[in-house]
Amino acid sequence: MKKKNSTPTPHDATFRQFLTQPEIARDFMELHLPAELRAVCDLSTLKLESGSFVEDDLRQYFSDVLYSLKTAQGDDGYVHVLIEHQSSPDKHMAFRLLRYAVAAMQRHLEAGHKKLPLVIPVLFYTGKRRPYPYSTRWLDEFTDPALANRLYSTAFPLVDVTIIPDEEIAEHRSMAALTLLQKHIHQRDLAELVDKLVPVLLAGYLSSSQVVSLIHYIVQAGETADAEALVRELAHRVPQHGDVLMTIAQQLEQKGMEKGMEKGIQLGREEGRSEGEREATLKIARTMLQSGLDRETVMKMTGLSEDELALIRH
């Protein structure tokens, strides 16, 4: 939703002066909402909402107000009134109204609500051309409105790989390897997947660069304990990609060695730091003893044990 930056036009100013008054807005809705929609609206709960959904560059042509209300069942709802005051009507107005309605729904969700609200778009046309020449049914903007209606009035296609058997996925040609990996990527032991992955790679649907992308995916997103061993296994069993897979395995081995060296160096530093702290504590304890403090007090103050204190030579 964009903020209003431009100077209001006479159309916009007059429209807002009237329609931002709840009692006038209520009369408007009682007069112009279709009976079926009016019946589900509790107009006594009308509340003017702030902001506008019209783009800044279109404000000379359109003005809008948004009211929230409760439905007769007590659910959240909105009525979005858009006034068109240009002499040439917009043939894409139905789609524009849909976009504004979705924007109002999005704002509702961002406010913390869990369910989408019913948003009723209303076009108040005041142009010179009459009657209004275009459909206000957004589906009519498609070349094939009937097909669009079937698509957008039913559930969208869902590819749920979690319930597709691996044997069926293996027949998915160039999509098989990616689908298998993304289905099982969070397995602790991806080595179990190798037997299913090998015949898919041997089928020859993927280029070497695509295979490399899959291996990088395993290394970056997978939870396998030994990616290097897995890649070496694939290199041996998928010879057409063997060279590139073996190169990756060697790189992983080198990185593992470097990581091991870094860990060893870090561990050595930590051990050195711990040893240094212990020596400092012993030195403080020696000073305390030389100052005449009894051994019990020194142990309490330094946290040293009897055996550690025994190591101190006066």
150-195 per-position pLDDT tens digit: 999 999 999 999 999 999 999 999 999 999 999 998 887 787 789 9
Q: Are 196 and 176 in contact (CB under 8 A)?
A: no
pLDDT 10s digits, 188-214: 778 778 999 999 999 999 998 899 889
User: Quick one: average pLDDT of 143-151?
Assistant: 98
**Same domain assignment for residues 24 and 131:** yes
Q: Are 146 and 174 members of one domain?
A: no
Q: Which of 90, 118, 152 is the last residue of a domain?
A: 152
Point out the least confidently predicted range of 92-106, 118-132, 210-224, 260-274. 260-274
Which residue in 239, 247, 162, 244 sits closest to 201, CA to CA? 239
Across the chain, mean pLDDT equals 83
**Cis peptide preceding 145, ω within 30 of 0:** no
* Residue (of 268, 212, 274, 270) closest to 238 by Cα position: 212
Whether the per-residue pLDDT at 265 is higher than 50: the answer is no
What is the domain count for the chain? Answer: 2
Residues 132 and 207 in one domain: no
Q: Based on the fold, state whether residues 36 and 82 are members of the same structural domain.
A: yes
Domain residues for 200? 161-253
Domain end, chosen from 152, 178, 196, is at 152
Residues 171 and 94 placed together within one structural domain of the fold:
no
Residues 165 and 116 placed together within one structural domain of the fold = no
pLDDT tens, residue by residue, 61-117: 778 889 999 998 888 888 887 776 666 788 998 998 898 899 889 999 999 999 999
> Is residue 96 located within the same domain as residue 218?
no
Degrees, nearest 5: CA angle 306-308-313: 105
Same domain, 131 and 193: no
pLDDT at 256: 59
pLDDT (average), residues 279-298: 73
Q: Let me know whether 129 and 217 are in one domain.
A: no
Same domain as 104, residue 19: yes
The domain boundary residue, chosen from 93, 120, 152: 152
